[in-house]
A and B are shown apart, each in its own frame.
Chain A
Amino acid sequence: MGGFTTQFIVALNVTIGLALVSGCLGTAFGLFLAISKGTAQPRLNSVVTAYTTVVRGVPELLIILLIYFGGTTLASKIAGRYVEVNAFTAGVIALSVVFSGYATEVFRGAIAAVPAGQTEAAKALGLNAWQRWMFVIGPQMLRLALPAYGNLWISLFKDTALVSIVGLTDIMRVAYVGAGSLRAPLTFYLAASALYLSLTTVTLLSIRLAERRYPALGR
């Protein structure tokens, strides 16, 4: 493998960083959309539905290409000279968009699965809207959403490989470069698969742990 071991370690950090940043941003945005879909007026509702439909109906690769190349064109137009969007930034934006699209649907389903009686009881106790979300619906909803939400993280880790196509030096990119320069594609891609497999395994195990620690209430 030559000197590629250190490169793989750096690339592993890039992949993990990319996944964590876009996952957290996507979760925040998805949560916001799911809550606004549950409560707000029908017009906003249909906008959110359109957003999730489009994001979930278009290939992730295409979204990444659109944001990387389209973003470069847009930034150049605004700045008046050639500006290149950083591959990491483009990856974070694209993967957050994808993640939020799926997360919105997961959270929306979980909110709908919390019995209506819970909200009514909270209202009867005199809790205001903020308190209802924080103490009654939120905790129950998150527990219900946990299994599906965990699957989203696993797909997110796999989708980070696509960002290598626009030049981010993540695991996949290092494997590609290494495979080309040492003429050993099999070794390098097997190493990359092993790294991805260990990442998804760690994610899966931590989700299982979280599921056992926070099982769905009242089931």
Chain B
Amino acid sequence: MNLGLMLDALVVLPSGIGLTLTLTVLSLTAGFLLSVPLAFMRAFGRPGLSLAVLSYTYVIRGTPMLVQLFLLYYGLGQIEAVRASIFWVILRDPFWCALLTFSLNSAAHTTEILCRGLQSVPKGVTEAATSLGLKRFQIARLVTFPIAFRISLPAYGNEVVGMIKGSSLASTVTLLEITGMARQMVSTTFAPYEIFIVAGAIYLSLTSIAVKAIQLLERRLSTDGHPVHRRKPRLRPALPDHEITTPPLP
């Protein structure tokens, strides 16, 4: 163990945090936006539509993200039409390739998570909303989705952590995020474990923060259990009825 080297790594590696977080946040956002309509289609759509979404999520979730990344980054260039099109500007850049792969991946995972949440919304709730005269879109926006989101938040937390960890794959397409920086440092210093341990510690703190943030959000959004305790009761509690309320006569 070389402590000086670990300190060096501690100074150098955090400059990769920016790229890791950029990749993670952007792909989670894109994945989430893409997954909301997909989850509704998967949960409530016609059988054909549901099956189409299922095949997308199944293929993405059934293959390693590394293969998908290489497929986009190296594979698409083989098609002449892609190289001639305007998309080539985006697809030859490793950052956009990684971002696209991560977003598609995150969308597939989030779709399945949200779909399970949507399916576990009690039927009575939506029926009540229908009987109140809400339109279908209003029910989805105001009733079904908020409940489903709350239900799927713990599972979505795992997806967030998975995405932070998955962003380390970007180092395989020459991007210098935390893992990429660490690999570069190792190749110049030949001190693998000092540097990789520091990189691991940085990832661990990032994932811990994400877990804590999701737990905080869960607690903020939770309504069942104790909905009344948001505010302190203003009235003094009534006396228990077995107590003598009349003062004893002298």
Please classify how large the interface on chain B is, using the bins under 10, 10 to 19, 20 to 34, 35 or more. 35 or more
Query: How far in angstroms is the closest Cβ of chain B from A56?
Result: 8
Give the complex CA separation of A66 and B204 in angstroms. 15
Query: How far in angstroms is the closest Cβ of chain A from B170?
Result: 10
- Residues in chain B near residue A189, CB distance under 8 A: 67, 70-71, 74-75
- A60-B165 contact, Cβ under 8 Å, with A65-B183, A172-B64, A185-B77: yes
Residue of A nearest to B75 (CB): A186
Q: Is the interface of A mostly helix, strand, loop or mixed?
A: helix
Task: Convert B161-194 into 0s and 1s, putting 1 for each residue whose CB lies closer than 8 angstroms to a CB of A.
Answer: 1001111110110000001001100100011110
Q: A159 on the interface (CB 8 Å rule)?
A: yes
Task: Convert A51-66 into 0s and 1s, putting 1 for each residue whose CB lies closer than 8 angstroms to a CB of B.
Answer: 0011011111111011
Give the complex CA separation of A190 and B74 in angstroms. 11
Give the complex CA separation of A191 and B168 in angstroms. 24
Residue of B nearest to A73 (CB): B192
* Beta-carbon contact of A197 and B63 below 8 Å: yes
Task: Convert A27-55 into 0s and 1s, putting 1 for each residue whose CB lies closer than 8 angstroms to a CB of B.
Answer: 00000000000000000000000000110
Give the complex CA separation of A96 and B235 in angstroms. 59
- A57-B208 contact, Cβ under 8 Å, with A185-B70, A185-B78, A197-B59: yes
Q: Which of B66-85 contact A (CB under 8 A)?
A: 66-68, 70-71, 74-79
* Beta-carbon contact of A54 and B79 below 8 Å: no
* Beta-carbon contact of B63 and A193 below 8 Å: yes
Q: Is the interface of B mostly helix, strand, loop or mixed?
A: helix
Give the complex CA separation of A192 and B193 in angstroms. 31
Residue of B nearest to A65 (CB): B196
Q: Which of A157-206 contact B (CB under 8 A)?
A: 158-162, 164-165, 172, 175-176, 179, 183-187, 189-190, 192-193, 196-197, 200-201, 204
* Beta-carbon contact of A196 and B62 below 8 Å: yes
* Beta-carbon contact of A159 and B200 below 8 Å: no
Residue of B nearest to A158 (CB): B64
Which one of A61, A160, A176 contacts B169 once the chains associate, using CB atoms below 8 Å?
A: A61
Query: How far in angstroms is the closest Cβ of chain A from B171?
Result: 7
* Beta-carbon contact of A59 and B168 below 8 Å: yes
- Residues in chain A near residue B208, CB distance under 8 A: 53, 57
Which one of A59, A70, A72, A204 contacts B203 once the chains associate, using CB atoms below 8 Å?
A: A59
Residue of B nearest to A74 (CB): B193
- Residues in chain A near residue B200, CB distance under 8 A: 54, 58, 62-63, 66
Closest 10 CB pairs of A and B: A69-B192, A70-B193, A161-B64, A59-B168, A185-B74, A186-B75, A57-B207, A66-B196, A59-B165, A200-B62
Which A residues fall within an 8 A CB radius of B? 53-54, 56-63, 65-66, 69-70, 72-74, 154, 158-162, 164-165, 172, 175-176, 179, 183-187, 189-190, 192-193, 196-197, 200-201, 204
